[in-house]
Structures are given as structure tokens and as C-alpha cells.
Amino acid sequence: MSETPSSSLITDVNDTAFDYDFFVIGAGSGGVRASRIASQLGARVAVAEELYLGGTCVNVGCVPKKLFVYASQFREDFDASKGFGWGHGELSFNWQTLRDNKTTEIKRLNGVYNNILSGANVEILHGRATLAGKNSVSVNGTNYKVKHILIATGSWPRKPTYQGAEYTIDSNEFFYLETLPQKVIVEGGGYIAVEFAGILNSLGCDTELVYRGELFLRNFDNSIRHFVAEEIRKKGIKLSFKQQISSVQKNNDGSLTVNIKNSAQNEEDRNVTVDAVVTAIGRTPKTGNLGLEALGVAQKTDGSIIVDNNFTTNVEGVYALGDVIGRKQLTPVALSEGMALARHLFDGQPINMDYDNIATAVFCQPNIGTVGLTEEEALERGYTLDIYKSEFKAMKHTLSGLDERTLMKLIVDKNTDKILGAHMVGPDAGEIMQGLAIAIKAGATKAHFDSTIGIHPTAAEEFVTMREPVG
């Protein structure tokens, strides 16, 4: 399908031939933002949601994950405090308290999203919506005539296919575990798997991460990948690369026996008995049983919906954005896409989404923050590079006694001095990277960084004090 913008803009609203000007299927980040903006621009808008308001991020993604990360960090903080003179008795942790307090907060946020939509005069329909024909949507047996339909149904955890996969727990179910496992395997090599392994390990679980590849975090800078592997090994997580789960068997006592195949030479397969297997092996677009095929909406082989630069499908009046189109599966991206589409349809504004230099964070322990090109990507694009690196022990750990180190890296175009990428592993990496993302988006050079006076004493100042390239 063409990736060029549509030649015409549709800005008329309140057409009496339709029940709604804009009908959104899915009340996640992108769908809520698009519906709210469209309504503010005068459109009659409805949103249909069959599960929960706020989508993956609020309910089984960013929000509960970050709350669990906070909880898991306290154990190390308590240990670190001893070097600063603090004493405390025996620590105890109650999983049910964390889980239930998290659920209470999510219910509060569901209410916030309900109020946002209601306050914007968006009608909320609770139920499964499907495409019922051209300009037609069906919800709970009722058909609605709709001028513009937006599919923003997000993505869903991919389930493994090996024998006994039904005994595993996916990333959605993880947040509602009845009990905290004492011994657990996390399967996967993406950022979700790495984050979950860190949470479980820091909460006191005997944790092993199993990944079929040679090294996890496949699209991150190689320096970052290797450094993170070293750091989380030091924290007690067992990393089993080039290994793959082949089957899971449930035992009479409720434990699981996991058969793990090893692709390394001269390494035998093994069986491990654990309390739980948490799978984070990727996500797939949530496009099943929406009526896409009957209406002829084009999809890729992975199920993602094909759209042009204006988020328009090959079927007139049908649009899609967010995780369901398989581009950048990040909440802020879906928010930006939703706002852009609403303004395009109902205010005639052109869509100019820029997917370059999107900053991201991984809330493993220590955190990762990254923006721009990796060293490998920059070399593939033909740049001649200066690489700046700094590795050090943060001031806090000179007294904490903890063996944790920080890594910072800048990728610089040698010919123009322009910063192509910035990468960090260490405490508050995401917070630090947000500011750098603005600078890099604005075209900052290494000279700009060098002329900036650092905030002392902070780790962040290291980004403006790296003077000599290492490669």
C-alpha cells in the first residue's frame, strides 16, 4: 500500500446520514486520545471497549510494571542504606499487598479515563465492536452507521506453542499472580522479559531468564546489551542464552518441570523444576475476529493492519494506529498518532509523524535509557563515527557497598559533529534521557554538549564532560 499522504482532507462533521462522525474501536492510549481530540473539534464520537479503559499501558503494561519495579527496588535500597548508617530489623515482603494496591490504583485510573471521555462528550460503549460492513460497526448486537472508523485495538502477548504451554503465565497474567513464586523461569529476550526478571529477582525469587538468542535486547546498542547482561548477572539473575524451552510438565504438587534445549555445542538438554514460567516472547496485533477480512482490510502476515502515512487503510473510511499497525509499539507514539489523525480528519491539519529519535527506557535494574541511533545502525548507514564512553561507579555506591556500575555512550558523526545517539545504563536513565532527547531532536552537536556546564554532583553531568573519543 502507498505510504504517501491522502490528497484530500475530510473535515465536515455532524452528517445526519450517520450515527457518529467518528467511531473508535479500542479505548487504549491512541484510541482515547483520538476520540477526545475529535470530539473537541466538533465530531460526534463513540468509543467501544470490551476489556478495560486505558488499554495495555494502564492495565497490564507501563503503569503496573513501573509500580512493581518501585517495589522491587526497596530490597536493594535497604541494603544500600547500611553504608549510610541506617539500621533495620528483618525485612518482610507481602506480595498480596503489592498486587492488590496496584489493582486499586489501576481501578482509579480506569475511572480517570472514563471521566476524560465523558467530560469530552465521547459516548462509551462497553462491549466487543466488529466491522459490520462499509461505514458500519456492530456492538452488542446493535449496528451503527459511522463516517470514520478507527481501529486502535492494540496488541496481545504471544503464547508459546510447545507442549504444556497452557501452564505458563503471560505478561498480562503476571500482574495478578495469586502467590509469588520462589523459583521462576522468565522466557524471552525483549525488554519486557528483562524487566520481569529484574522485578522477580529483586523481590526475592530464584530467577532464570531463558532466551534462544546469543544475547538479549536485540535492537539495542551492543555495548548496552553486554553491559546490562553483566550488571544483572551480578544481581543474581541466571542468564541462559542460546537455550529454548521445549516442554513444560505440571507435577502433582503444582510445580512445573521445564525441559530446556541447548543449542550450544556439546551442551546437553536439561530439566528444571520451578514454581512458575513467565513468558514474554513478543506481542501480536490484536486484530482477530474484528471483521477485517470480510471488509477486505489489508493486513501483513503478522496480522498488523497496513496503513499509509495518514493512518488510512485500503478501505475508505477505515483507519488504524498504535500497536495494531506494528510500527513503534510505545504509548507516547500511539498518543501522538491519535492526536494527529483526529486533527487531520476534523481540522484539516496534515499528518507529519516523525519516528526518528524516539527516546525509550527499559526499567530493568539498572535502568536503560536510549535515544537515536545505535553504533551498529550508524555504521550501517555509512557514518564515520566518534564514540564517547564513560563507565563508573555512581557516588551513592561508594558508601552503599553495592557492586553496580553506570555506562554512558554518545554516538557522534565525525564529519558534522552531530550527536546521532545517546545511550545509558544506570539509575534514572529514563529521566536523564528525556532531556537529551530534546537536544538530539533539535540537532545538537558534540560541541554543544561540551560547552554545556554540568550539574554537579550528578551522574548526568558525565554526558557533557566526555572529552576524548574511544573509537
Query: Mind telling me the catalytic residues?
Result: 456
122-139 b/e with 16+ CB inside 10 Å = b? bbebeeebbbbeebbbbb
β-pair partners for 387 = 411
CA dist 283 and 289 (Å) reads 17
How far is Cα 348 from Cα 360, in angstroms, rounded to an integer? 31
Distance CA(124)–CA(36), nearest Å, equals 11
The alpha carbon of 292 is separated from its chain's Cα centroid by a whole number of angstroms, namely: 26
- At 322, list the grid cell: 498504535
Hey, how many other C-beta atoms are within 10 angstroms of the C-beta on 77?
A: 12
Residue 441: CB atoms within 10 A of its CB come to 15
What is d(CA 387, CA 409) in angstroms, rounded to the nearest whole number? 7
Angle between helices 331-347 and 29-40 (to 10 degrees): 30
Cell of 68: 512493581
CA dihedral 346, 300, 283, 48 (to 10 degrees): 40
How many other C-beta atoms are found inside a 10 Å radius of the C-beta of residue 167? 15
